[in-house]
Amino acid sequence: MREVCIIGCGMTKFGELWTKSFRDIFVEAGLKAIDDAGVDHIDSMYVGTMTSGLFVGQEHVGALMADYLGVAPIPALRVESACCSGGMAIHQGILDIASGNSDIVLVGGVEKMNDGADATYALSTAADQEYEVYQGITFPGLYALIAQAHMHKYGTTRQQLAQVSVKNHYNGSMNPNAQFQRKVTLEQVMNATLVADPLTILDCSPVSDGGACLILAPLEIARKLNKPIIKIIASEAATDALALHQRKDITTLNAVKVSAEKAYKKAGMKPSDIDVAEVHDCFTIAELCIMEELGFCEKGKSGKFVEDGNTALDGKIPVNTSGGLKSKGHPVGATGAAQAIEIVEQLRGSAGKRQIKNAKIGLAQNMGGSGASSVVHILKKLND
């Protein structure tokens, strides 16, 4: 199996991109990634998108994007794993290169969520239609159930949940690609419009348009380029029951736990080796639960862990330096790729005001639905 590196990155600004079409958004991100990598061809392509058929009425996404990016007739596939689609596209591209099938692979994701179908309806397709959606539950409702259970079981407070949003908005205020480049206070989060008790609108990631792409190549090609070598030392995925009622404990995200354990084992590392992490904070409670499954803190202690500043830019383990899904935005098909891009920028030392000093090893965790799918990538900078 060949070793795989990231040699190029490109993304659009996230937000309400009314003047750009679905294809325009992906092509913009793809061209930026190609330009950053300095490559003259693409061997294959994997495009993550969750539900373009509902949002914009477009399927057959792989062929469309290869055509408009100007790289056809290469193999180009659409990858779907709900909000984990972008991360799974990266995972597929890694396997393609590791197997020796391709040398230069474009991976990424795109979503145009502000046109077409109602976002609540489209996103609900990632939940169990017969046992959850039919009963009227939404994703804010599902994560509110997780939050209530976590608060009851571990004593997590409403203020600790809000602190996740405050931190991520602070980080996002320094990210030029973020949808919300503004800070929020604890009081603003806690007193915002209630969506699903205890989650207010400032506990929830927004509806976003955006695209993000990366160029992957084997280590031997990356070594020939005059830039930092960012190697993917692990990429592991796992799934769990789709519906919350099928799980033994809804405060445990087993897909995250298993994908992380496999990734740490593959990389020969432990949680304390990670310098910076991007995690799937679709809701503030998600970030808390994920940190526990990644081993950054003890089970049930994530609220206090965040409250004490351990996940801030100058903390023990900076989490969501990009602003996370909460501030940067969450165009669901693109999110996993954007997370990986933030880790690459941190390892390259090009993250600007949100740069983590001496970052050498980073982790990106992307999740689908209420935790039914998860992929974890661990990246390492090989040279200075």
* Token pair for 72: 């056809």
Q: Indicate whether 218 pLDDT > 60.
A: yes
Nearest-angstrom CA–CA distance, 118 and 112: 12
Cα–Cα–Cα angle for 171, 177, 181, rounded to 5 degrees: 45
Query: 130-143 pLDDT, tens per residue?
Result: 999 999 999 999 99
Q: Is 63 exposed, middle or buried (0-12, 13-18, 19+ CB in 10 A)?
A: middle
Res 252: pLDDT: 98
Superfamily of domain 125-205+233-381 in CATH is: Thiolase/Chalcone synthase (3.40.47.10)
83 catalytically annotated: yes
Exactly one of 91, 169, 280, 330 is catalytic; name it.
330
Res 354: pLDDT: 97
Please state, rounded to an integer, the average pLDDT across all residues of the chain: 97
Would you state the torsion angle of the CA atoms of residues 57, 63, 68, 70, taken in this order, to the nearest 10 degrees?
Answer: 170
| For range 26-55, the mean pLDDT | 97
Q: Choose among 127, 138, 172: nearest CA to 338.
A: 172
Give the percent of the chain with pLDDT over 70. Answer: 100
Query: What class is the 4-119+207-222 domain?
Result: alpha beta
Query: 251-284 pLDDT, tens per residue?
Result: 999 999 999 999 999 999 999 999 999 999 999 9
Q: What are phi and psi of 284, to 5 degrees?
A: -60, -35
| For range 42-46, the mean pLDDT | 98
Q: Please, are residues 11 and 212 in contact by the beta-carbon 8 Å criterion?
A: yes
Name the DSSP class of 201. Answer: G
Exactly one of 5, 83, 204, 289 is catalytic; name it.
83
Q: Choose among 65, 100, 199, 66: nearest CA to 144.
A: 199
Res 115: pLDDT: 84
- Provide the whole-model pTM: 0.97
5 catalytically annotated: no
Nearest-angstrom CA–CA distance, 39 and 37: 6
Q: Please, are residues 278 and 342 in contact by the beta-carbon 8 Å criterion?
A: yes
Tell me the CA distances in angstroms from 11 to 112, 181, 191, 318, one per residue in order.
14, 16, 33, 22
Nearest-angstrom CA–CA distance, 112 and 331: 7
Q: What are phi and psi of 358, to 5 degrees?
A: 60, 35
In the numeric block, the tokens 């993917």 are attached to 232
β-sheet with 76-79: strand ranges across:
76-79, 44-48, 105-112, 209-218, 4-11, 230-239, 373-381, 361-368, 276-278
Query: 346-360 pLDDT, tens per residue?
Result: 999 999 999 999 999
Q: Indicate whether 21 pLDDT > 70.
A: yes
Q: Please, are residues 233 and 347 in contact by the beta-carbon 8 Å criterion?
A: no
* Token pair for 207: 């509806």
Domain parsing of the chain, residue ranges: 4-119+207-222, 125-205+233-381
| For range 19-29, the mean pLDDT | 98
Q: What crossing angle do the helices spanning 335-348 and 85-98 adopt, rounded to 10°?
A: 60
pLDDT band of 195, cuts 50, 70, 90: very high
Do the domains 4-119+207-222 and 125-205+233-381 sit in the same CATH topology, yes or no? yes
Q: Give the 3-state secondary structure of 7-28.
A: EEEEECCCECCCCCCHHHHHHH
| For range 54-65, the mean pLDDT | 96
Give the percent of the chain with pLDDT over 90. Answer: 98
The total of other beta-carbon atoms located within 10 Å of residue 149's CB is 18
Q: Please, are residues 368 and 126 in contact by the beta-carbon 8 Å criterion?
A: yes
Res 384: pLDDT: 56
Residue 272's identity, in one-letter code, is S
pLDDT band of 116, cuts 50, 70, 90: confident
Q: Indicate whether 117 pLDDT > 80.
A: no
Q: Indicate whether 301 pLDDT > 90.
A: yes
